[in-house]
Amino acid sequence: MAVQAWPAQPGRTAEQRSRLRQIIPGAQPALCAFFLIAATIVERLAGDPAALPLHVLAYVAGGTGSAITAWEVLRHRRVDVNLLMLLAAVGAATLGQWGEGGILLFLFSLSNAMEFYAVGRTRRAIRALLALRPPEALVRRDGQEAVVAIEDLRVGDLIIVRPAERLPADGVVERGASSIDQSSITGESMPVDVVPGSPVFAGTINQRGSLEIRVTKGAEDTTIARIIAMVEQAQSTQAPSQRLIDRFGQVYAVVVILGAMVTYGVFISLAFPHAAAFYRAITLLVVASPCALVIATPATVLSAIANAARRGILFKGGVYIERLADAGTVVFDKTGTLTVGRPAVTDVIPLAGSEQDLLVAAGSLEQRSEHALAEAVVAACRARGIDLVEPELFESVTGRGVRGVVAGQRVRVGSEQFMRDEGVDIAAEVADRLNGLRGQGKVPILVANTGLLGVLGVADTLRPQAEPAIRALRALGVTRIVLLTGDHLQVANAIAGHLGVDEIHAGLLPNQKAEVVKTLTQEAVVVMVGDGVNDAPALATADVGVAMGAAGTDAAMETADLVLMGDDLSRLSEAIQLSRRAKRVIRQNLIFAAAVIAALIVLTFSQGLRLALGVVGHEGSTVLVVLNGLRLLGFRATRG
């Protein structure tokens, strides 16, 4: 049943119109009930004619909203349940059953009001995110500090955020260190440590130190603003079952009207009095109306979308909730999805001297290099608290290694071939260890001075959540886990060996990944999980494309059908659990609604069901369907 639309009133501000829209649905049934009670009292004291004006006022109070909505729908040559209810109420009035017609309009307007507030609750759950942004920010411009509205912030401004304050804008930390509560963006409960250079987001909470942040996005472009826009768009996108019900509802409403006419004719032909035949016809109009059927899907989908968004899981529409529920194959990109996406030192193998001697020699030279592997070596030294020495000489040999002088000694760091070219002797047993590292998908880095000092193994490490996430998918009944990567098969095998995936496709270009996904979709519903940038073709090809770690990433939000705002892969199994529960609730609602309608129709024909009881059964089923859908707002998935 569509929530009634209210026309804009000239001369009122947007805020006033918003308040009216919130007040009117609740005022309708209240006024209708007041006039009905007054009419009943006057009727008993002074008779029917004296109560007639009050009955008319009850009709006006309870039916105005439905009349406006029905007229708007009729202008588009369509019929909806509001027209059915109005016809039934008018029919009751023509039979002198003003009281029953008034009860019909009261309960119908009350049901509409409850739906209005129930659906509004799911939207408020999302709109509340906007309240997370502070209205003002402390900004430093030209050496002067001033408080400005967040709408007046400009890209490039330097803002100051003190402990326990919410961040007013997206930006990059320029000075200071702290922990940030990012749960409003990523859904993660654990704070994130930030230092100069770390990206931060509006609406998150600075927990400890004072921060100076350079603004990188305007108020309308912040990550939290884009989350709001995305979820609102998703809420307006119909799920397949909802589209089917809406199309069915148009035809069904016409059938109900024609059915009421036929019912009247049949009972007249059976020698029923005109009033009795007409009464059954208008009762049929009420009990056969598809209110509960129409609201069954949107009430559930809106609740699921709101629940997911609060946990950093953004569905782009109800269609993806229904598709994800049927997932049979999950395809993962490797780099940046199953792995962290940056190399790290995994093995330190000294051959002469200690581990610290090996790392000092390698790190001191590599700190002058800009290569990703060099950054991994330096990061390993810093993590161990090793003080590095500034090299006296440094030379980079592109694609092979670096050489220089550290603490008066000549040092070389690089590949096996680079060392052989440098005349460094590599024993057979060392070569075997290098091959062993390569077999594990690791890159061996050799370090030498006059002789070989040792070997460092560097690899893109698995995310801590990768293995438990795949176990959770298996537990949910996902039968096929596939790994796609542009890396060599040897590297892919090393990763797959830890995770137990079913299928590996290595050495792929982006378009080749899309071809693999396309083939898989012919056998099952395929979910593709990637970073949303270089995996765009595969994400678009899959039945459901999932971008993870998308906080602040425009490309990921635009490409995927489902966005995991944080880097936690376990969110995928939570999304699948939520979608399956939503699909079950939709099925429950549809079966229940259809059963109630069928039962009421049977009672109307066989027992001459009273209109008032038909109204209670009809509107009661609608309310129960809405409440059942709202239960998803409190759904909590189990984490593997």
Helix (H) or strand (E) holding 137: strand 136-141
Which residue type sits at 415?
S
Residues sharing a CB contact under 8 Å with residue 414, sequence separation 6 or more, in sequence order: 397, 400, 401, 402, 403, 445, 446
Token digits of residue 392: 């006296």
pLDDT mean over 289-318: 82
pLDDT mean over 382-391: 90
pLDDT (0 to 100) of residue 128: 59
Instruction: Select which of 170, 333, 535, 561 is catalytic.
Output: 333
Report whether pLDDT(323) > 60: yes
80 is catalytic: no
Least confident piece of the model among 13-27, 520-534, 583-597: 13-27
Report whether pLDDT(11) > 50: no
The DSSP code sequence of 415-475 is: -HHHHHHTT----HHHHHHHHHHHHTT-EEEEEESSSEEEEEEEEEEEPTTHHHHHHHHHH
The DSSP code sequence of 570-625 is: HHHHHHHHHHHHHHHHHHHHHHHHHHHHHHHHHHHHHH---HHHHHHHHHHHHHHH
Report whether pLDDT(586) > 70: yes
CA distances from 555 to 187, 532, 536 (A): 20, 6, 9
pLDDT (0 to 100) of residue 581: 95
Token digits of residue 527: 């979910």
Confidence label for 57 from pLDDT (cuts 50, 70 and 90)? very high
Query: How many percent of the chain have pLDDT more than 90?
Result: 20
Confidence label for 4 from pLDDT (cuts 50, 70 and 90)? very low
Q: Residue 449 and residue 428: Cα distance in Å, rounded?
A: 19
Helix (H) or strand (E) holding 69: helix 48-75
pLDDT (0 to 100) of residue 525: 92
Confidence label for 236 from pLDDT (cuts 50, 70 and 90)? low
Helix (H, G, I), strand (E, B) or coil at 181: strand
- 154 or 236, which is more confident? 154
Number of separate helices (H) and strands (E) present in the chain: 21, 22
The order of strands in the sheet holding 393-397 is 339-350, 452-462, 443-448, 409-414, 401-406, 393-397
pLDDT (0 to 100) of residue 377: 92
pTM over 0.75: no
Q: Residue 8 and residue 20: Cα distance in Å, rounded?
A: 10
Let me know: does 572 contact 564? Beta carbons within 8 Å. yes
Confidence label for 600 from pLDDT (cuts 50, 70 and 90)? very high
- Per-residue pLDDT tens for 101-145? 888 788 778 777 766 765 565 555 555 555 667 888 899 988 888
CA distances from 554 to 377, 397, 487 (A): 31, 37, 25
- 118 or 305, which is more confident? 305
The strand pairing partners of 330, in sequence order, are: 481, 527
Burial (Cβ within 10 Å: 0-12, 13-18, ≥19) of residue 9: exposed
Listed residue (466, 475, 482) closest to 570, CA to CA = 466
Length of the chain: 640
240-269 helix and 318-325 helix, angle to the nearest 10 degrees: 100
Which residue type sits at 599?
A
Report whether pLDDT(235) > 60: no
- 74 or 324, which is more confident? 324
Q: Residue 386 and residue 356: Cα distance in Å, rounded?
A: 7
Token digits of residue 179: 């922990």
CA distances from 396 to 148, 350, 445, 454, 536 (A): 49, 23, 15, 20, 35
Q: Residue 535 and residue 538: Cα distance in Å, rounded?
A: 6
Query: How many percent of the chain have pLDDT more than 70?
Result: 85
What is the dotted CATH code of the domain comprising 304-339+463-579?
A: 3.40.50.1000
- Per-residue pLDDT tens for 420-436? 888 888 888 989 999 88
Token digits of residue 637: 């998935």
Q: Residue 201 and residue 215: Cα distance in Å, rounded?
A: 10
Let me know: does 499 contact 334? Beta carbons within 8 Å. no
Inter-residue long-range contacts of 154-158, CB under 8 Å, 24+ positions, other chains counted = 154/215, 154/218, 155/215, 155/216, 155/217, 155/218, 156/214, 156/215, 157/214, 157/215, 158/212, 158/213, 158/214, 158/215
pLDDT (0 to 100) of residue 80: 73
Q: For all residues of the chain together, what is the average pLDDT?
A: 82
What is the dotted CATH code of the domain comprising 134-221?
A: 2.70.150.10
Report whether pLDDT(214) > 90: yes
The order of strands in the sheet holding 171-175 is 144-149, 136-141, 158-161, 211-215, 171-175, 199-200
pLDDT mean over 210-232: 77
The DSSP code sequence of 199-265 is: EE-TT-EE-SS-EEEEE-S-GGGSHHHHHHHHHHHHHHSPPHHHHHHHHHHHHHHHHHHHHHHHHHH
The DSSP code sequence of 72-123 is: HHHHTT---HHHHHHHHHHHHHHTT-HHHHHHHHHHHHHHHHHHHHHHHHHH
Token digits of residue 534: 């270089």
Which residue type sits at 377?
V
pLDDT (0 to 100) of residue 117: 65
Confidence label for 15 from pLDDT (cuts 50, 70 and 90)? very low
List the domain boundaries for the chain. Answer: 14-127+232-303+581-634, 134-221, 304-339+463-579, 340-461
Listed residue (211, 37, 203) closest to 131, CA to CA = 203
Q: Residue 181 and residue 184: Cα distance in Å, rounded?
A: 8
Q: Residue 4 and residue 27: Cα distance in Å, rounded?
A: 13
Residue with tokens 């690089």: 414
Inter-residue long-range contacts of 543-546, CB under 8 Å, 24+ positions, other chains counted = 543/323, 543/327, 544/320, 544/323, 544/324, 544/327, 546/572, 546/575
- Per-residue pLDDT tens for 543-558? 898 988 765 456 666 7
Burial (Cβ within 10 Å: 0-12, 13-18, ≥19) of residue 158: middle
Report whether pLDDT(188) > 60: no
pLDDT mean over 605-618: 85
pLDDT (0 to 100) of residue 20: 44
Token digits of residue 393: 């000489």
What's the CATH superfamily of 340-461? Calcium-transporting ATPase, cytoplasmic domain N (3.40.1110.10)
pLDDT (0 to 100) of residue 362: 92
Residue with tokens 């270089």: 534
CA distances from 440 to 446, 461, 473, 545 (A): 17, 11, 25, 30
pLDDT mean over 320-324: 89
Q: Residue 67 and residue 89: Cα distance in Å, rounded?
A: 12
pLDDT (0 to 100) of residue 587: 92
